[in-house]
Amino acid sequence: MSGAPVTIGEAARATGVSAKMIRYYEETGLIAPAARTRSGYRLYVASDLHALRFVRRARDLGFAVEDIRALLALWHDRARASAEVRALALAHVTDLRRRIDALEDMARTLEDLAAHCGGDARPDCPILDDLAAGPPPKPAATPTRGSRAGKASALPLRSR
C-alpha cells in the first residue's frame, strides 16, 4: 500500500510496460512527463501507475497508440458521454474484424492449397503453382480495378 513514488524500473515491473516504452509514451505525450528526483530519475506515483496499466490494457486490446490518446482523454474527462467511448471501441472492433477476415481468407486459401499438395518427396506442388500464377482472377465484372480502395489501419499488434 505504500504510496511512495517508484523509479521507472519498478513502474515497469508493476504495470507490465517496459521502461523503454514508458519513456517513449512520455516522449510522445501519451502520458504526462514524470516527476524527477534532483538527480533526474523519473518518479511514478500510484496515479501514474494506474495510467500506465490503462495504456497497457488498451494495447492488449489492440488499440493503436493514437486511439489510446483519445481514450485517455475521455477517461480523464469526468463529464464524457459513454457513447463516445463506445463509438471508439466499436470502430476498433470493426477494424479488428476486417483484419480477421483478411487473415482468415489467407489461412483458408493456404489450407486449401495444402490439402491438394502431396506433401511427399515429389516436386509437384499446387502451392507453388498458385503462387506462380500470381494474383487470383478478379471475381467480378467491375471496372478491372476499383481495387485501389480504402487503406486499412496499419495493425497495431504485438503478442509479446
Closest CA to 155 of 48, 62, 18: 62
When the beta carbons of 21 and 71 are compared against DNA, the nearer one is 21
All three cell numbers of 158: 504485438
How many angstroms separate the CA atoms of 74 and 85, rounded? Answer: 7
How many angstroms separate the CA atoms of 66 and 69, rounded? Answer: 5
When the beta carbons of 27 and 101 are compared against a copy of itself, the nearer one is 101
Give, as ranges, the residues between 8 and 47 that touch a copy of itself (CB under 8 A).
15-16
**Contact map string, positions 113 to 152, toward a copy of itself, x by CB under 8 A:** xx--xxxxxxxxx-xx-xxxxxx---------------xx
Q: Considering CB under 8 A, how many residues would be counted as binding a copy of itself? A: 67
How many angstroms separate the CA atoms of 57 and 42, rounded? Answer: 22
User: Helices (DSSP H) in 16-147: which residue ranges?
Assistant: 19-27, 46-60, 65-76, 82-115, 126-132
Give, as ranges, the residues between 47 and 76 that touch a copy of itself (CB under 8 A).
50, 53-54, 56-58, 60-62, 71, 74-75
Torsion, CA 24, CA 28, CA 30, CA 32, rounded to 10: 90
Residues that bind DNA (CB under 7 A): 7-10, 18-21, 23-24, 34, 37-42, 59, 64-66, 154, 156, 158, 160
**Which spans of this chain sit near a copy of itself (rule: CB under 8 A)?**
15-16, 50, 53-54, 56-58, 60-62, 71, 74-75, 78-83, 85-87, 89-90, 92-93, 96-100, 102-104, 106-107, 109-111, 113-114, 117-125, 127-128, 130-135, 151-152, 154-155, 157-160
